[in-house]
Amino acid sequence: MAGIHRHKFKTIDNTGFGPNSSVEGGRLMNKDGSVNLKKRGLPFWTRTSIFHTLLRMKRSHFLMMILLFYTCVNVFFAVIYFTIGVTHLMGVDGNVSLGYQFMEAFFFSSQTLTTVGYGHVAPSGMMANAVASVESLIGILVFALVTGLMYGRFSRPKAYLLFSNNVLIAPYKEGKGLMYRIASYKNNHLTDVEANLTMALHTKENGKTVTRFYPLPLEMSKINSLALSWTIVHHINEESPLYNLSKEDLDDAKMELITSIKAFDDHFSNIVQQRTSYTNEQLIFGARFLPMFERSQTGTSTILELNKINAHEPVTLTEKIHSNNVRNIEVKP
Amino acid sequence: MAGIHRHKFKTIDNTGFGPNSSVEGGRLMNKDGSVNLKKRGLPFWTRTSIFHTLLRMKRSHFLMMILLFYTCVNVFFAVIYFTIGVTHLMGVDGNVSLGYQFMEAFFFSSQTLTTVGYGHVAPSGMMANAVASVESLIGILVFALVTGLMYGRFSRPKAYLLFSNNVLIAPYKEGKGLMYRIASYKNNHLTDVEANLTMALHTKENGKTVTRFYPLPLEMSKINSLALSWTIVHHINEESPLYNLSKEDLDDAKMELITSIKAFDDHFSNIVQQRTSYTNEQLIFGARFLPMFERSQTGTSTILELNKINAHEPVTLTEKIHSNNVRNIEVKP
Amino acid sequence: MAGIHRHKFKTIDNTGFGPNSSVEGGRLMNKDGSVNLKKRGLPFWTRTSIFHTLLRMKRSHFLMMILLFYTCVNVFFAVIYFTIGVTHLMGVDGNVSLGYQFMEAFFFSSQTLTTVGYGHVAPSGMMANAVASVESLIGILVFALVTGLMYGRFSRPKAYLLFSNNVLIAPYKEGKGLMYRIASYKNNHLTDVEANLTMALHTKENGKTVTRFYPLPLEMSKINSLALSWTIVHHINEESPLYNLSKEDLDDAKMELITSIKAFDDHFSNIVQQRTSYTNEQLIFGARFLPMFERSQTGTSTILELNKINAHEPVTLTEKIHSNNVRNIEVKP
Amino acid sequence: MAGIHRHKFKTIDNTGFGPNSSVEGGRLMNKDGSVNLKKRGLPFWTRTSIFHTLLRMKRSHFLMMILLFYTCVNVFFAVIYFTIGVTHLMGVDGNVSLGYQFMEAFFFSSQTLTTVGYGHVAPSGMMANAVASVESLIGILVFALVTGLMYGRFSRPKAYLLFSNNVLIAPYKEGKGLMYRIASYKNNHLTDVEANLTMALHTKENGKTVTRFYPLPLEMSKINSLALSWTIVHHINEESPLYNLSKEDLDDAKMELITSIKAFDDHFSNIVQQRTSYTNEQLIFGARFLPMFERSQTGTSTILELNKINAHEPVTLTEKIHSNNVRNIEVKP
C-alpha cells in the first residue's frame, strides 16, 4: 500500500480538519456539508444557538414547535387563572363544572396571548388583571420573536445547489478527469461562482493512521454565472495526487472529497455557500455525464432538466499519457 | 461567412452559458437580466422559492394575493363556524337567514384572524373556542409572515439602473467604439461601480451551431461613484473581436451583448448587481449619445435628465486605423 | 493663472463626476456626502425610493408622518362609516349630534385600524362589517410596514464618523502636509478603515471651464482599527498636485476635496461608508491639530474628547525642500 | 532595560491606537475585544447608539427594560385617564375607592397598549377616546420596535469563538513558538478564518513612555474552515520581535497581545469578527496545549471538548538556534 503515500504531492494543513481527527468508519464531512463532529464540555444552551436551530429546523417541525409552545403557555396561564378563581373572569359562569371552568380559563388565556381579547370573558380584580396584563405583554413579545424567526427562515441566504450523487472518473483531454456536476434548482441566480476541491486520504504512517489533505486543482475554478449546470473537472495528469491511484487504493485510503461552492446570489444580494463531501463509495471509474439541458419545443429557450443531474453512462477509460504503456481499465458500472 | 470565425480572438467559457445552448430565434439573457432558461425535472414547489417569488412580484399582484388569501382563509373558517353552528357564536341571532348567519360567521372569522376581536360576537363552547383559538394563532403567524415579506420587499438591495435602449457604434479616438450608457434613476448612490461586457456569437463550426463568447475589454471598467450617467466604451481596435465585422456579419451571427454592473449601494450598505443583454437589433452603427445633464437655472447644481438616457444622433463613421484603406460606412439610422 | 494647470500631474476620470459638470458657485458634493445633483425626466415616484426616503428622514419628521397618516386613514374610514350610517355601529347612540356621531365613527375606525377592538362599538350589517374587515386588514398591513421601517431605520449600517470642519495645511516631515481628522462618535467599532482623497480643480482650458480630478495619495490610507481619532495626511511634496499652489490659486480654481471613508463595522458586521467634501473656504494654511485625547483621572483608560475634533492652533509654515530657496508663508488664521 | 528597544524590528502605526495612548495600569483592549476608551464631548444621546446598546445588552437586562418600560407607560397613561376621570371609562364603577379606580385605569391602559382591548372597560367621550386612540398607536409602534430589536438581537452575526485563557511559549520546530487556541463553541460553521496578531510594548524612549506595535507573523494565518480547534502559532525565531525577550522584559514593558479573528459564517452568510487581547500576566513560559478532541465511542465521529480549550501542561523550553550557547529556561508554572 506504499503507493498511497503521495510524498511528492503537496498537502495542505489549513483545512480546519486535523491530521489525527480521522476515525474508523466515519467521514469528515457529512453529505449536507456539516462537519462530522460533536461538541462537548459546555452546557447545552451555551453551545447551541437557539435562533439558528429554529432557523434550520424543518418547516413542519417549526410549526409543531410553535403549536406546542402556544398550547403550553395557554395551559400555564389557564392554571394561574384557575387558581385565582374563575370568579375573577367576568363572563364565566361559576356554576359550571371544574373542567368547563378550566376550559374557559384556557381560552381566555389564548384570547389574551394573541391579543384578540373578545371581552365576553374579561379579567376582574387586581390579580386576574395583572396576570392578563403580563400575558398580553408576553404574547406580543413572543409573536415579535416569531415574526423575526419567520423572516429569518425565509430570508436566510441559501445557495440552493443540487450536486450530482456521484463523482465520475471520465475521459478528459488525453487522459482522465475527475468530474462532478452542480446546478441551482430554484429560481435564484448565482454569479461569480467559485468551486474548491480537496481530497482527504487516511494513510498509515509509522503505524499511525494519519489524514492527509491534497488540494485538487480545477480546470476552471470560477464561472461568471451559473445559468445552466456546471461540470467541475479536475484533470488527473502527472501533477495530480490521483495520478496512478486505482479504485482499490482509494477504497483502502477511505478517500473523501470535500468540496465547497461560493457564489454571489443576486436575489439576496449576498454571498452564499454550500458544501458537500463524496466518499470513495460515490466514486465511479469510467463514466461520463449525459447532457442535462435541451431546447424548448418552441426553440426560443433552453430547458434545464434537474432530474438528470446525475445522469451518466459507462465509458472505457484509455490512458495514454506521453507514453507507450497504454493501459485499459475494465469498468463494470 | 468565414469572417465571423474570430479564431485569433480569445474566447471564454466561464460565462455559465454552454457552447451548445444556443437556440434558433432565442436570446441567452432576457432584457431584465434573467436567463432565458426553464427548469424542469423537480416538483414546482422544490424548484421555486416562494419567498423570492413573493418578493419580486409586482406590487399590485402582491396586494391582490394578500386580499385573496385573506378572503379564502375567512371563507374557510366561516364554513367551519357555520358547520359547528352559529348558536356557538354568542351575539349572532339564530333566527336570521342562513346567508346572514354565514356572513356573521365570516366577519367573526375576520375579526379573529386580524385579532380585532370586538366581542359583540364571541365563541362559546369547546369547539368554537378551539377553532377561534387556532385561527387567531394562524392570524398572528400569517401576519408575521406578511411583515417579513413587506420588509423584504422594501429592503431588497436593488441597483435601480437605467440602461440605454441601444448600443451605438460611434467614432472613438482614431477609430470606432461600441458604447452604451447607464444612470441610476432613484435617490440612491452607487460607488465602486464595475462593468463587464461579453459578446456572444452563434457561429457554424463543422456544420454545428456553436456559441462563442468573447470578452470585450472596456476603456474604463470601474468608476468610483455613479453620480452622473456613465457611458461604457469598448474600443473597436485591432485587438477587438468586433474589428472589421459589419452589421450583416453581426446579424448573421445573432450577436448578443451580455453586460453586468456590480456596485456598492451605500443606502443598503450592500453590493447590488444588475444585468441586461442587447441583441443585434438594438445595435446602431454610426450614432453617438447626446449629453443628458445640464446646469440648473440657479447654476448651483447639475440636473441629470433621465429621459435622455437613450438620446443619440446619427454620425458618419470614418475608420482610419494605421492605414491607407480608409473606408466609409453609410449609416441610415 | 497658468500655474493651476497641473499638466505634469496625473488626473483621473473615474470619479463619476464629468469634466463638464462644474457649475459657477456650486460644489460637486454636499457636506453630508450626497452629490449636488438633481434628477429629472422620470415621474417623481419612479425616481424616488419611498423606503429610503422614509429611512433617511429625520426621526421627528418620521413620527409626524405616521401620526398624519394615522389621522388621515381614520378620517377616511370615519367618513365611510358615517355615510353608511352610525345606526350600523352598535353601541353608538343615534340621537346624538352629527359631530358626536362622526367622532364615534372616527374612534371606532381607530380601534379597528389598531386592532384594539374594544367592542363597545361594533359593526352590524353587511356594509359596516365589510368595511371594518378591510380596515383591520389594512391596519395589519400598514403596521407590518411600519415594523419594517422601524427596523430598517435602526439597523441601517452607518459609519457615525465625525469629520473635522477644516482641512489644515500643516508642517509635515521636511515640508507641508494637508490634514483632516476623523473619529467615530458612537459606541460602534470600525475596523479595516480605508480613506480616499481626490481634489477637484475647476480650470479654464481653451476658454472653457473644465473640472480636473487629481488623486491625493495618503501617507497611510488604511488602518486596522479606528479606536482613537485618525489624522489623515497627504504629504505636499514635489509629487503632489498641490505642490507650489497658493491659497489664491486654490480659491481661483474653486478647489474641492472629496473624501470617502470605508470601514467594516463589527456591530452591524457590515461595510459602512461615509463621504464628505471640503471647499477652498474650509482650507486653513498654517495650522495644526491639537490632541483630542487624554488619560482618564484614574489612569486606566484613555478619554477621547469628541468636541475637540476640529481643535487646531496656528503655526508658521516653513518650506525647505531640497533647496536653498526657503520661503515663509505668513498665515493669519 | 535597553533590550526592550527592538530597533531592528518593524513597527506598525496603523493599529488605530496612538503611540501616546498608553496609560499606567491600563490595557489597550479589554478582554471582550472592546477598546479601553471613553468618549466625551458630545451629548450622551449623540454618542450612543440606542439600538446597539439594546442589541448588546444582556438578555435579562433587556427583558427587565421592556417590563420597566411597559409599567412606566401604563402608569403614565393611567394618570391621564385618572385625571380625565374614570367616569369616562365605561365599565368602571365610579363608587369604588380612588386606588381601585387608578388600578382600573392602569389595566385599561395595558389593554389598550397591547391592543388586547377586552372592552369590558371602554373609553367614552372625546378626551378618553382620543387618549386611547393615541395610546394604541403608540403600543403598535413600540411593539414594532421591539419586534425589530428581538430580530436584531437574534440575527446579529457573531463569531461565537472561545479563546484559550493563556498564551503559551511552547517548544516549536527547533526553537519556541507563541501559541494560543480558538474554537467555535456554537453550532455555527466558520470558513475562511483569518487570524491577525499584534504585540504592543510600552517602552521608555527619551524619558517618555511610548507604545510600540509589532506585527507577529503567524505560521498559518488563514484556514479554510474552523471545524476543530485552531492553535495559532507565532514562531519565535531571529526574525521575531519576541526573540531573546525574557518574561521579565515583557512584564516590564507591560506587553499586550492584540488579536482579531475574521471569518465567514455560513449560517448568517456574513462576515463575523471577534477580538481579544492578552496581557503579560496571561503569558505562560514553557507550556504546551493538550489535545481537545477525541474519537466518539462509536468511532464514527470526532468529539470536540470545549472545556479543554485552555488545557496545557508544563514543558521545558530548550533553545538551540544556530548556536552553541544552548540555554535552559526553568519554568515553574
- Asked if D301 and A37 come within 8 Å (Cβ–Cβ), the reply is yes
Does D301 lie in the same domain as D217? yes
User: What is the phi/psi pair of residue D93, to 5°?
Assistant: -75, 120
Residue partners of C150: CB distance under 8 A and separation at least 6: D141, D144, D145, D147, D148
Q: Is the pLDDT of residue A1 over 90?
A: no
Per residue in A257-306, pLDDT tens?
999 999 998 777 888 999 999 999 999 999 999 988 887 777 677 888 99
Q: Please report whether residue C50 resides in a domain.
A: no
Residue B203 Cα distances to B8, B217, B281, angstroms: 15, 21, 17
Q: What pLDDT is recorded for position B319?
A: 54
Q: What pLDDT is recorded for position B49?
A: 84
Per residue in B182-206, pLDDT tens?
999 988 889 999 999 999 998 887 7
CA-based nearest distance D58→chain A, Å: 14
| pLDDT bucket at A242, cuts 50 / 70 / 90 | very high
Residue ending a domain, choose from C121, C155, C189: C155
CA-based nearest distance A123→chain C, Å: 14
Residues of chain D with pLDDT under 50: 1-3, 22-23, 320-333
CA-based nearest distance D296→chain C, Å: 35
pLDDT above 90 covers what percent of chain A?
Answer: 47
Q: What pLDDT is recorded for position A4?
A: 58
Per residue in D158-214, pLDDT tens?
889 999 999 999 999 888 999 999 999 988 889 999 999 999 998 887 777 788 899
Residue ending a domain, choose from A127, A155, A183: A155
Q: What pLDDT is recorded for position D5?
A: 57
3-state helix, strand, coil in chain C (%, to 5): 30, 30, 40
Q: Please report whether residue C84 resides in a domain.
A: yes
Does B309 lie in the same domain as B185? yes
Q: What pLDDT is recorded for position B78?
A: 96
Euclidean distance between CA atoms B33 and A260, whole angstroms? 26
**Pairing mode of beta strands B222-225, B190-205:** antiparallel
Does B191 lie in the same domain as B106? no
Does D314 lie in the same domain as D301? yes
Are the C-beta atoms of A256 and A200 separated by less than 8 Å?
Answer: yes
| pLDDT bucket at B323, cuts 50 / 70 / 90 | very low
Q: Please report whether residue A135 resides in a domain.
A: yes
- Asked if D306 and A42 come within 8 Å (Cβ–Cβ), the reply is yes
Kindly report the pTM of this predicted structure.
0.86
Residues in A touching B56 (Cβ below 8 Å)? 267
From A67, A147, A269, residue closest to B144, measured CB to CB: A147
Distance of CA B243 to the CA centre of its chain: 31
Does C313 lie in the same domain as C204? yes
Q: Please report whether residue C51 resides in a domain.
A: no
Euclidean distance between CA atoms B29 and B32, whole angstroms? 8
| pLDDT bucket at C4, cuts 50 / 70 / 90 | low
- Asked if C303 and D40 come within 8 Å (Cβ–Cβ), the reply is yes
Q: What pLDDT is recorded for position D290?
A: 93
Does B149 lie in the same domain as B162? no
Residues in D touching A213 (Cβ below 8 Å)? none
Are the C-beta atoms of A178 and A217 separated by less than 8 Å?
Answer: no
Q: What pLDDT is recorded for position A319?
A: 54
Residue D275 burial class via C-beta count within 10 angstroms: exposed 0-12, middle 13-18, buried 19 and up: buried
Does B117 lie in the same domain as B177? no
Provide the CB-side half-sphere exposure for C260 (13 A, CA). Answer: 18
Per residue in C73-101, pLDDT tens?
999 999 999 999 888 998 887 788 889 99
Q: Please report whether residue B31 resides in a domain.
A: no
Per residue in D43-78, pLDDT tens?
888 888 888 888 889 999 999 999 999 999 999 999
What number is the average pLDDT over the span A84-101? 87
CATH number at residue B117: 1.10.287.70
Residues in B touching A301 (Cβ below 8 Å)? 23, 26, 36-38
Residues in A touching B152 (Cβ below 8 Å)? 151, 154-155
Q: Please report whether residue B172 resides in a domain.
A: yes
CATH number at residue A258: 2.60.40.1400
Per residue in B141-156, pLDDT tens?
998 999 889 888 888 8
Among the residue ranges B232-246, B314-328, C92-106, the one predicted with the least confidence is B314-328
Q: What pLDDT is recorded for position C2?
A: 41
Residue ending a domain, choose from D123, D155, D187: D155
Mean pLDDT of chain B: 86
Does C258 lie in the same domain as C285? yes
Per residue in B153-189, pLDDT tens?
888 888 899 999 999 999 998 889 999 999 999 888 8
| pLDDT bucket at A3, cuts 50 / 70 / 90 | very low
Among the residue ranges B95-99, B218-222, C291-295, C306-310, the one predicted with the least confidence is C291-295
Q: Please report whether residue C165 resides in a domain.
A: yes
**Chains with ≥3 Cβ pairs under 8 A against C?**
A, B, D
The domain tally of chain B equals: 2
Does D322 lie in the same domain as D201? yes
Does B162 lie in the same domain as B273? yes
Domain encompassing residue B275:
8-18+158-332
Residue A150 Cα distances to A36, B51, B143, D155, angstroms: 28, 11, 10, 12
Does B175 lie in the same domain as B267? yes
- Residue at grid coordinates 454618542: D47
Q: Please report whether residue C234 resides in a domain.
A: yes
Mean pLDDT of chain C: 86
What number is the average pLDDT over the span A134-156? 90
Q: Is the pLDDT of residue A135 over 70?
A: yes
Does D242 lie in the same domain as D231? yes
